[in-house]
């Protein structure tokens, strides 16, 4: 292994604690909290020193954090890019410093894929498709229009772009499905509630379906729906993504129809990747997380085994 350029001899490698710099998106959702927890505990279990930063959903903060990890000469940098574009400059700086970069959870849309080693995380387009397929099946006997409102995730983020794309790809097969309003709720409960209030004000009882790009926004919207005197999951069919415990609780309470799973438990996989990279192994460019879909009918049975 020592023959591979840039590697230390195995004996030195064994003694040296690997240092990982991780630039997290923020703490915007239950999903993100579980993701942070998974990364912190996996680093501890793997004996990897973790330098962690929270960018509060701001790209400039993530870039600053990455630059500081480069300056500190960490062994590997990992991050979950808040938005897809605008990363090339800082990634080139990491490459010039010979620090390998791993993307977790969210992708970048850079044309140069030598700027990162691997991207591990969910297939967000497929999540959108799963949400769409569930809706098409549920509404297959409905004759008139199905009016959908959509709560999008953070503007410019991979999950917001891809989930929308996958969902639309499926529902466009039948013109009765109409997205009548679509706006960002920034993946937070507070924003989800606020935007749903505005949707209800504008469209009222015309709304048949809510597609929320994550559970937190759906949970915020459920509050808005109840405050408007409507019954969530009955008057308005609600579909969301993540599969966090809060969503299972909402389904058990009969207020959310379905959640598409998106696993935040990427920590162990990331630590294995860090070790493999430093050992000179070649990793696949894309590592996709396996995920399911949980309608309200199975929520009570599944709840005890949910890990996040």
Residues of this chain that bind ligand AHR (CB under 6 A): 28-29, 31-32, 105-106, 159, 187, 214, 216, 241-242, 262
Q: Write down the least CB distance from residue 124 to ligand AHR, Å.
A: 8
Instruction: Say if residues 49 and 19 touch (Cβ distance below 8 Å).
Output: yes
Using left for φ > 0, alpha for ψ between -120 and 50, and beta otherwise, residue 177 falls in beta
Which one, 28 or 84, has the nearer CB to ligand AHR? 28
Whole-number minimum distance, CB 198 to ligand AHR, in Å? 21
**Cα(192)–Cα(210) distance, rounded to whole angstroms?**
11
Beta carbons within 8 Å of 64's beta carbon, 6+ residues apart: none
Which residue number, 29 or 110, has a Cβ lying nearer to ligand AHR?
Answer: 29
Nearest distance, CB of residue 221 and ligand AHR, angstroms: 14
CA distance 302 to 292: 12
Alpha carbon distance 169, 1 (integer Å): 47
**Nearer to ligand AHR by C-beta: 75 or 216?**
216
At its nearest, how many Å lie between ligand AHR and the CB of residue 163?
Answer: 8
Looking at the Cβ atoms of 31 and 79, the one nearer to ligand AHR is: 31
Question: Strand, helix or coil at 151?
Answer: strand
Nearer to ligand AHR, 19 or 294 (CB): 294
d(CA 240, CA 227) in angstroms, rounded, equals: 20
The CB-of-80 to ligand AHR minimum distance in angstroms stands at 7
């Amino acid at each position: 292994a020592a023959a591979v350029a840039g590697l230390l001899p195995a004996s030195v490698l064994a003694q040296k604690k690997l240092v990982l710099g991780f630039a997290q998106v923020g703490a915007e959702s239950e999903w993100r909290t579980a993701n942070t927890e998974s990364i912190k505990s996996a680093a501890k279990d793997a004996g990897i020193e973790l330098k962690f930063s929270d960018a509060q959903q701001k790209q400039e903060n993530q870039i600053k954090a990455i630059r500081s990890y480069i300056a500190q000469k960490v062994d590997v940098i990992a991050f979950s890019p808040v938005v897809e574009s605008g990363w090339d400059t800082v990634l080139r700086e990491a490459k010039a410093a010979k620090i390998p970069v791993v993307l977790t959870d969210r992708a970048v849309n850079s044309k140069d894929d030598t700027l990162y080693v691997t991207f591990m995380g969910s297939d967000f387009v497929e999540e959108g498709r799963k949400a769409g397929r569930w809706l098409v099946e549920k509404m297959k006997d409905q004759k008139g229009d199905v009016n959908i409102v959509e709560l999008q995730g953070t503007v410019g983020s991979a999950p917001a772009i891809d989930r929308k794309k996958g969902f639309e790809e499926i529902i466009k097969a039948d013109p009765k499905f109409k997205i009548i309003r679509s706006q960002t709720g920034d993946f937070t409960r507070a924003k989800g509630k606020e935007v749903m209030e505005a949707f209800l004000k504008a469209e009222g009882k015309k709304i048949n379906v809510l597609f929320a790009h994550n559970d937190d926004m759906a949970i915020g919207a459920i509050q808005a729906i109840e405050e408007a005197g409507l019954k969530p999951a009955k008057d308005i069919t609600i579909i969301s993504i993540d599969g966090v415990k809060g969503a299972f609780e909402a389904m058990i309470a009969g207020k959310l129809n379905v959640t598409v799973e998106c696993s935040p438990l990427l920590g162990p996989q990331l630590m294995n990747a860090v070790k493999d990279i430093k050992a000179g192994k070649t990793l696949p460019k894309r590592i996709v997380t396996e995920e399911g879909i949980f309608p309200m009918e199975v929520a009570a049975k599944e709840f005890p085994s949910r890990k996040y």
